[in-house]
Amino acid sequence: MDSQVRMNQTRRHIHLEHDGKLLLVDLQGKGPAIPQMGREGDGGFSIRLPTPEEAEAMGLTWIAKRTNRFRLGNYMHEVIVATPEITWPGEWAWKDAVISDSEVDPVARESVYRTLHRVVSKVVITNPSNQILMAKVTRGFFTGCWTLPGGFVDYGEHPRSGAEREALEELGVNIRIPDPNGESSEGHGTNSESIIRQEIFTQDGICWLSFTYKCEAEISAEEIVPKDDEIEEAKWFDKEEALSVAVSLFDIEAITKFI
């Protein structure tokens, strides 16, 4: 088949997931098929996501959450992400097992990858004048824009600790976010404030989970040392100024609610 023709075609699949279990089928559309950890294939695959028609033929109904669209190779793929209307399907594949079997279709692995949360953590740092510390970044999603200090949460790290680490790495400032309940360490401080927000911004389905905290600190201009390869500039803004330069929906919401 001509590659240009393939590029114009869309293949449809359904990602049926319930409490960590995912429906996979064999090449004939029969299932459930179960991945085998560490299996090495010969370049092809023998397990895949079903089509909506194959799932219907199994007598399944579902509640659709959204449809993700992405390209792999010469084909566009449309994946309905849905919750099956059944009790817990113990005989289905564990979602976590999909990645470790090379016999699983890359579309299924890509769909699992896209349904995992991307966790980011940020902090609204205010000074005694109720100004907000923001940084102009030189790389990443918001290159050239003003954002709150923050970034991806590391593996095994609490989002609160991640926000403190990012402030130190990006701006050279040591902060301590109130943690009266001891969620990330021994309890300290009072009046802990946080916003947890989830959002999917694009049709490929990447899901962002954002934790934003508030912290008050007296930090002089001399103490702020922007990271050379990441931050162009950092400065304090009044609330209205901060809202006028902020580009992230997560940042705008946090500044609006906290200040």
* pLDDT higher than threshold 70 for residue 7: no
Asked if 131 contacts 63 with a C-beta cutoff of 8 angstroms, the reply is no
Q: What is the pLDDT of residues 131-180, one digit of tens each?
A: 999 999 998 889 999 999 999 999 999 999 999 999 999 999 999 999 87
Q: Which domains can be identified in the chain, with CATH numbers?
A: 3-114 (3.90.79), 117-258 (3.90.79.10)
- In sign, the C-alpha dihedral spanning 41, 46, 50, 53 is positive
What are residue 205's phi and psi, to 5 degrees?
90, 5
Rounded Cα distance, 143 and 136, in Å? 8
Record the pTM: 0.85
User: pLDDT tens digits for 180-202?
Assistant: 777 887 777 777 889 999 999 99
Beta-bridge partner residues of 82: 16, 64
- Quick check: helix, strand or coil at residue 245? helix
Convert the pLDDT of each residue in 8-59 to its tens digit. Answer: 689 999 999 999 999 999 999 999 999 998 888 777 899 999 999 999 999 9
> Nearest to residue 64, comparing CAs of 12, 11, 109?
12
Q: Are 202 and 217 in contact (CB under 8 A)?
A: no
What pLDDT is stored for residue 90 in this prediction?
A: 94
The letter for the amino acid at 190 is T
The mean of the pLDDT values for the chain is 92
pLDDT of residue 8: 62
